[in-house]
Structures are given as structure tokens and as C-alpha cells.
Amino acid sequence: MPHPGEIWVADIRFTNGLSSKIRPVLILWLDSQDAVVAAVTSSPVRSSTDVHLEDWASEGLRVPSTVRLSRLDSLEQILLQRRLGTLTTRDALAIKTIWKEAIHLHF
């Protein structure tokens, strides 16, 4: 069972519905049978809502990684395949700080 703050491998379906890709995601919160997740990528930070993971190796990732808080998805929990690890306190604080400072509704 997934928990917020964990990094999982998920089957991310493309919007065309024809294919999917296995990707790491950060569990942000759970809502019934769904998980709200943020994309985890090996690409470097490119915006104010990206967070470089300082402790990526101890969190179960193979390469230096970035959490893209601008790339959220709501996935059925059955699409989560396996747990890689849990955020360290340092990386969790960095993500919470960026969320508080940079994520705003614009309507």
C-alpha cells in the first residue's frame, strides 16, 4: 500500500490511451482508490516548481532526479507497480517549501 512521501514505479498511460510508459512518481496524497502523484525525471531543474532530490540514491532512484511539481497526475493505485523508497527529511522539506512558495491557483 502506497503512502505519501514514497517514490513508486507507475504505469503512466499516454493521453491517446494507446500506450504507456513505466516511470517513477512521488506520491503526494491518496484519495480513495487514487493516488495524486508528481512526475520524477532524470532531467535537471528547469522551473521554479521543480525540486532536485539531493538524496536520490537513498530514495531508491538510479540516477540524479528532479520532482516536477507542475506535472501532477491522479492514478488508480493499481497502476503503482512497486515501491522504490521514501523521501528523506531534507528532500521532503524542500518539496514542501517549493509547494508552499510556488504553487498557486491562477483563476
| Segments making up each domain of the chain, as ranges | 6-102
Q: Taking the model in full, what pTM does it have?
A: 0.93
Q: What is the mean pLDDT of residues 22-46?
A: 97
Kindly report each contact of residues 22-27 with a partner whose C-beta sits within 8 Å and lies 24 or more positions away, as own/partner. Answer: 22/81, 24/61, 24/65, 24/84, 25/73, 25/75, 25/80, 26/67, 26/87, 26/95, 27/2, 27/3, 27/80
The yes-or-no verdict on residue 106 having pLDDT over 90 is no
Q: Residue 61 — pLDDT band, cuts 50, 70, 90? A: very high
Judge whether residue 16 has pLDDT over 90: no
Note the pLDDT of residue 4.
Answer: 98
CATH 2.30.30.110 correct for 6-102: yes
Contacts of 65 (CB under 8 A, 6+ apart): 24, 40, 41, 42, 52, 53, 56
Is a pLDDT exceeding 80 seen at residue 35? yes
pLDDT exceeds cutoff 90 at 50:
yes
